[in-house]
Amino acid sequence: MSSEAKWYVVHTYSGYENKVAATIEKTVENRKLHDLIYEVTVPTEIVEEIKDGARKQVERKVFPSYVLVKMVMTDESWYIVRNTRGVTGFLGSKSDPVPLTEEEVLALGVEKHEVVVDYEVGDSVKIIDGALEDFIATVDEIELEKNKIRVIVSMFGRETSVELEPDQVELVKE
């Protein structure tokens, strides 16, 4: 099986998400399986509810009945998670769990990737990925927390604003 840790989606009984996560974490601690199961999380969000005329902030599960587990898929790790009380199975076929793709992990916000750029507003950059590959542009705006930058590209004698991801450009060395 895979020797690289990936995120897997585990289906649980409704309302058992936190209990399942805690049980898996405790099993990892007791059996010293940190090299197989790295992280267990129940994605939540803070929402504002108005009840009886009063506003209050409530933590709500983003995916009820699901727990996300970052693990190296082996027979042992599969067995431990699958046989945890409250777990009904993995997302995917019964014997072959399907890991989340890198894009899905980023979209869920489960892992935060620190992006460090070596350019700043006003610098000339070369677009290295996408439809405008090999174009030279000027950085107009950088929003790393939103994982986007805006550059100005000169096409057909007109300047056009284009939104890209920070890793789609590189600084032009002079």
pTM above 0.85, yes or no: no
What pLDDT digit, counting tens, does each position of 38-55 carry? 999 998 888 878 887 788
- For the chain, percent helix, then strand, then coil, each to nearest 5? 20, 40, 40
Q: What CATH fold (topology level) applies to the domain 6-108?
A: Alpha-Beta Plaits (3.30.70)
Beta-carbon count within 10 A of 42 CB: 18
Residue 21 φ then ψ, to 5°: -60, -45
Residues 154 and 170 sit within 8 Å (Cβ to Cβ): no
To the question of domain 124-171 being in CATH 3.20.20.140, the answer is no
What confidence category does residue 1 fall into, taking pLDDT thresholds of 50, 70 and 90?
A: very low
What confidence category does residue 127 fall into, taking pLDDT thresholds of 50, 70 and 90?
A: very high
What pLDDT digit, counting tens, does each position of 54-78 carry? 888 888 888 899 999 999 999 999 9
Where along the chain do its domains lie? 6-108, 124-171
